Amino acid sequence: MTAQISYPENNPVRATRVTCSLLALSVASAVMAGVAQAEPAATSSRAANAFLEEVVVQATKKSDGQALQDAPLSVSAMTGDQIEARQILDLKQLGFTAPNVILEDIGTFKGTANFSIRGMGVNSSIPSIEPTVGTFIDGIYLGVSQGVITDFYDLEGVEVLRGPQGLLFGRNVTGGAVLITTSHPTDEFTWSGKTSYESGNQYTVASRVSGPLVEGRLNGKLSVYYSDDSGWFQNEYDGSDVGASETLVVRPALEWMPTDSSDVLLRYEHGDVDGDGAVPQDQSDPSLTGFKVRYDEVGYNKVEWDQFTVEANVDVGFGDGTITNIAGWRALDVDNRNDVDATATPFLDFFTVINQEQFSNELRYEGSFFNWLDLTVGAYYFTQEIDSLGRRIIGGGAIDDHNFGGVVDVDTYAVFSQGDIAITDYVTLNLGVRYTKDKKSADVASPGHLCDFDSGSAKSCDFDFSDSHTWDSVTPKIGFGWAASEELNVYGFYTKGFRSGGYNVRGANVLTNPPGPFDQETMDSFELGTKWQTSDRHLTVNGALFHNAVKDLQRSVNIPDTAVGTIQTIGNPADATIMGFDLDVVLVASDSLVLTGFLGYVDGSYDAVHADMTGDGVIDSTDLGLDLPRLAPWSYGVGAVYTTYLFSSTELSIASNFAHRDATEFNENNTGELHGADMLSGSVSLSFNDGRTQLSLFGRNLLDEVTEGAASNLPTGGVFAPINEGRVFGLELKISN
């Protein structure tokens, strides 16, 4: 069978708790194994089958995808069935299942991704800062980091690509890329639904229906997801529950097959999030331990987006190839207020309005020639407008004239080509190149300039800075693949990555701190990897070594300021070297037991510093000795899914996952730390009627770990740290036809 992912601080007490949890899981597995032996022989469990299927990924943009084990790059991929078997509910949870991967929400604006892979990440909610880890939904690149964090429902699969992916995916993927693919309409009638309740009083209902509308020619799908979270935290200021959020996502889709050699897939997505602002903790207050918070302004967070994509595929005789065109439009609106001082005294409130609209189109051809060349060529266009408006209230209203904002327009053009040349039956040479031209124009208003905040647009501002700039880049790639045996593939490559230059729409003063342009960031990357899988697919071991030399690192530094609250600067202050390794393991130990594991290590340091990052007025060894932010040296984890038949049609499944991630600095000046975490999750499920009905008891963050999305110093002397939920238990019911 083929499963297509897309269309296709050391603490001994904590360690003991983890060990006991894993031991309990092992004992439970042994007991259930005895039960299973008493039953008649049964076919493999659904979980085992999910991990025995060949996983096909879209990471290399082959028209029919490429087997994960044959793809010459480091990628962690899961099908929808594997995600369900492991009870992974969202992207943040997924980030604790792969090496050297951090998929976190910054917390200041819910749904704003601050992803980091292999030590390359951002630490800001400024919308004009390009990400280092690109997020793609149904093949469409998301131009800003807002509106990214989503719950996992109605997914066909997820791929996490580690390392620069610029050849095929363009700029702003120097850290990697996350590819999310929603489900296809089906050619048979199917329906499914789920409902869940979890502590913290969160209710979720979701449903999907799919099937043929015109037999053999037109299929349709509609999925709806709704969640109502009344707020996990309690605010000591007044005893109220905070952190509430209401989410609605609707996804209709149509697939039209006008001929036997062509198809057109139309997808639409509407999302709406309405809830409280960030849940901030002042980490300088010793009385606020654990999950305690005390602040006077709950704030609000409203996010709404619409996305429409059209994917067309036509098989052609030339090179027995396929022409693919993917066009996508997306509009995003964000309205947010946060209590940034995180105290019971009104001092510093931030308001932000973001309006973003984008359009992209990629046209590519993939075919084979002469029995030794697989060729991919394509052209890409992307345009977007980012309209960001801000307001700051300081001293409880003593200062309320610091409105500011900016508008940035982006146009990107690119052409690319990749060829896989079979040198022998076992050795393949991989060659590719991409040319990109990127033009940006910006109008920016400093805080205190005339902006009508009630208008909801920065276009109302009296701009005191206007500029435009064009960057271009050439992304080469040269590599090899060696099929050393039927079970072992070895690959290696050199490539160059680029992160776009740009402008800061949240500057403090255009004279003393110009909004830009800051320059593009470049990376020279080397990777050597192996992929080994037994012929029966019961054991998979994939690993990679990497070395990245980064020039003109883009860095944002937050400097406390009593006049405007905080000054956020962006520049290119340093060069750095980052190296390490990734390791992924999957073992289908039996028809009933699946074990997973991962290990990652990243080491990074600055090679040269060109600007003052500590804020002490000099550039010296102190700057050079700073730790790189968003770089967690060690990450590792283990997981298990055990399934047995209690009766002929009743399946019991026990799943557990433990992961560790080291602490990491948040700011470039190392004034705020994101704590390390030991994350333990688990579930117990009963499936009836051949899996068509499933009842699950699950738990997340069972060790009650405090994690933060940010840690910024403030002029009050406090540390603003939006924190994430602690231990959660839930019950879920799924049904399908």
Q: Are 136 and 164 in contact (CB under 8 A)?
A: no
3-state secondary structure of 462: coil
Across 543-575, b (16+ Cβ under 10 Å) vs e yields bbebebebbbbbbbbbbbeeebbbbbbbbbbbb
Phi, psi of 216 (to 5 degrees): 80, -10
Of all residues in the chain, the percent with pLDDT exceeding 90 is: 69
Secondary structure element (H or E) that encloses residue 14, with its range: helix 12-38
pLDDT band of residue 17 (cuts 50, 70, 90) is very low
The confidence score (pLDDT) of residue 123 equals 80
Q: Count the helix, strand and coil residues of the chain and give each as a percent rounded to the nearest 5.
A: 10, 55, 35
Phi-psi region of 7 (alpha: psi -120 to 50; beta: other; left: phi over 0): beta
The confidence score (pLDDT) of residue 570 equals 84
Residue 323 in tokens: 């022409």
Exposed, middle or buried: residue 257 (CB in 10 Å: 0-12, 13-18, 19+)? middle
pLDDT band of residue 41 (cuts 50, 70, 90) is very low
Q: What is the DSSP letter of 513?
A: B
Give the DSSP letter string of 49-111. Answer: HHHHSEEEE-TT--TT-EEGGGSSS-EEEEEHHHHHHTT--BHHHHTTSSTTEE--B-SSSTT
**Cα–Cα distance measured from residue 192 to residue 209, given in angstroms and rounded to the nearest whole number:** 7
Q: In the block, which residue shows the tokens 């009083």?
A: 201
Exposed, middle or buried: residue 529 (CB in 10 Å: 0-12, 13-18, 19+)? buried
The confidence score (pLDDT) of residue 104 equals 87
**Cα–Cα distance measured from residue 449 to residue 401, given in angstroms and rounded to the nearest whole number:** 8
pLDDT band of residue 456 (cuts 50, 70, 90) is very high
Secondary structure element (H or E) that encloses residue 26, with its range: helix 12-38
pLDDT band of residue 366 (cuts 50, 70, 90) is very high
- Per-residue pLDDT tens digits for 557-583: 766 665 555 667 788 999 999 999 999
The confidence score (pLDDT) of residue 2 equals 40
Give ∠ CA 74-80-86 in degrees, rounded to 5.
85
> What is the pTM (predicted TM-score) of this model?
0.90
- Per-residue pLDDT tens digits for 229-273: 999 999 999 999 999 999 999 999 999 999 999 999 999 999 999
Exposed, middle or buried: residue 318 (CB in 10 Å: 0-12, 13-18, 19+)? exposed
- What size, in residues, is the chain? 737
The C-alpha R_g of the chain, in whole angstroms, comes to 25
Instruction: Please list, in sequence order, all residues whose beta carbon lies within 8 angstroms of the beta carbon of residue 88, skipping any fewer than 6 positions away.
Output: 78, 94, 97, 152
Whether the ω angle into residue 517 lies within 30 degrees of 0, i.e. cis, is yes
**Cα–Cα distance measured from residue 697 to residue 437, given in angstroms and rounded to the nearest whole number:** 51
Exposed, middle or buried: residue 16 (CB in 10 Å: 0-12, 13-18, 19+)? exposed
Q: What is the DSSP letter of 1?
A: -
> CA-CA-CA-CA torsion for 600, 606, 607, 610, nearest 10 degrees?
150
The confidence score (pLDDT) of residue 13 equals 37
Of all residues in the chain, the percent with pLDDT exceeding 70 is: 91
Secondary structure element (H or E) that encloses residue 532, with its range: strand 521-533
**Cα–Cα distance measured from residue 286 to residue 274, given in angstroms and rounded to the nearest whole number:** 32
Question: What are the residue boundaries of the structural domains of the chain, listed by start?
Answer: 2-8+13-736
The confidence score (pLDDT) of residue 562 equals 58
Q: In the block, which residue shows the tokens 């093949």?
A: 139
pLDDT band of residue 510 (cuts 50, 70, 90) is low
Residue 604 or residue 131, greater confidence: 604
**What CATH class does 2-8+13-736 carry?**
mainly beta
The confidence score (pLDDT) of residue 561 equals 61
Question: Mean pLDDT over residues 648-655, rounded?
Answer: 89
Strand partners for 578: 548, 604
